[in-house]
Amino acid sequence: MRLQTALPIGTLLLALVGCAADQKPVTSPVTTTQTRNAPAWIDNEEIPDGLAAVGSAQSNVMGDKSLQRTTALADGRTKLAGKLKVRVQNMFTQLNQQVTVASAQTGAKPIKSEAMNRVIDNVTRQLIDQELNGTNTRFVYTDPEDGTLYMFVVLTKASMDQALASTAKAEIRKEIAQGEVALNGALDKLDAAIAASASKPAM
């Protein structure tokens, strides 16, 4: 009797193992324009007039299109925040180089690294909080095969540069007022640093 009971259990275990082996791993949706016949911007986020990112959201079981759009927009803004952070870092790298060269020529004291780091951190945080609310959606595409929604969200260069200059000047002036006089020269070179940072890839 025991042998007869054990056989069906053993057979069941083998069947379960076989089923598990047949299951294919879950893969991410294919989003390339070549395979999906999708718009080119899904694969190429670079634009000449600002920063852009593609946010995406899969269809949900409730069929809630509003929630899907909100999720895709949030995803795009998160990616833009990363690019904006790189842009700020590029700008301060340019600014620091320009001020260092000028200081060497005039004999002025170099900027303390901790002061510069404070300015970078504050400018990055404020700019991201401020500018991401001003993003606009330039394109929207829904994949007809799996229902995934793609949104092309953009920060225009004009508004971004204006906000970057304004925020950076305010933070630099605050540091100067607190005694970091070596930052005085940075204000004169800020516009040039912003322009130079725009030519660097924000990736």
- All structural domains of the chain with their residue ranges: 45-198
Question: Cα–Cα–Cα angle for 118, 197, 139, nearest 5°?
Answer: 105
Residue 48's identity, in one-letter code, is P
The model's pTM is 0.74
CA distance 194 to 92: 8
DSSP letter for 3, please.
H
Strand ranges of the sheet holding 50-57, from the earlier edge strand across to the other edge = 50-57, 149-156, 136-142
Q: Encode the chain (203 residues) as per-residue pLDDT tens digits.
A: 444 444 454 444 344 444 444 444 333 444 555 556 789 999 999 999 899 999 999 998 887 899 999 999 999 999 999 999 999 999 999 998 888 887 777 766 777 888 889 999 999 999 998 888 888 999 999 999 889 999 999 999 998 999 999 999 999 999 999 988 888 888 989 999 999 988 665 54
DSSP 32-69: -HHHH---GGGT---BTTEEEEEEEE---TT--HHHHH
